[in-house]
């Protein structure tokens, strides 16, 4: 299903409430010119759920934020100081990335689900 311009139709989500996107999916917000797209995951070095690790690791969630301008950002699972960004009057924060890795299998891009929140500054 596509909307105007040939892109995927964006679900409308409320501010300050967690919402989950798949890779390539975009969310929009009522009454404002804002959309957030989950573009990909890179560098997933999170400690597998079936392993014991000294460090928790990190995964980088790439998002595209479109207001009057477009910004590309990296949100980190392993560093809370880099888990959120601000563009204009909006703060976009990564809440969770699923699935959690297991040592015996590789996660494909289309399996990732990023849970985010957006708030007004």
Per-residue model confidence as pLDDT tens digits over 8-37: 556 789 999 999 999 999 999 988 999 999
pLDDT digits (tens, 9 = 90+) for 28-86: 998 899 999 999 999 999 999 888 888 889 999 999 999 989 999 999 999 999 999 99
| Residue 2 belongs to some domain of the structure | no
| Residue 3 belongs to some domain of the structure | no
| Residue 6 belongs to some domain of the structure | no
**Predicted TM-score (pTM) of this structure:** 0.88
Kindly report the number of other CB atoms within 10 A of residue 49's CB atom.
10
Q: How far apart are CA 59 and CA 79, in angstroms?
A: 9
Domain count, the chain: 1
User: Which alpha helices (DSSP H) does 32-109 contain, by range?
Assistant: none
| Residue 43 belongs to some domain of the structure | yes
Kindly tell me the number of DSSP H helices and DSSP E strands found in the chain.
Answer: 0, 8
| Residue 45 belongs to some domain of the structure | yes
């Amino acid at each position: 299903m596509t909307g105007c311009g040939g892109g995927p139709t964006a679900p409308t989500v409320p501010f300050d409430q967690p919402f989950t996107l798949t890779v390539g999916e975009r969310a929009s917000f009522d009454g404002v010119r804002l959309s957030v797209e989950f573009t990909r995951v890179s560098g997933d070095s999170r400690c597998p759920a079936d392993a014991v690790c000294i460090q928790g690791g990190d995964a980088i969630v790439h998002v595209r934020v479109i207001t009057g301008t477009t910004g590309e950002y990296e949100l980190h699972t392993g560093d809370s100081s880099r888990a959120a960004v601000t563009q204009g009057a909006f703060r976009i924060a990564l809440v969770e990335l699923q699935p959690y890795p297991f040592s015996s299998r590789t996660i494909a891009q289309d399996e990732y689900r990023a849970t985010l929140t957006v708030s007004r500054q």
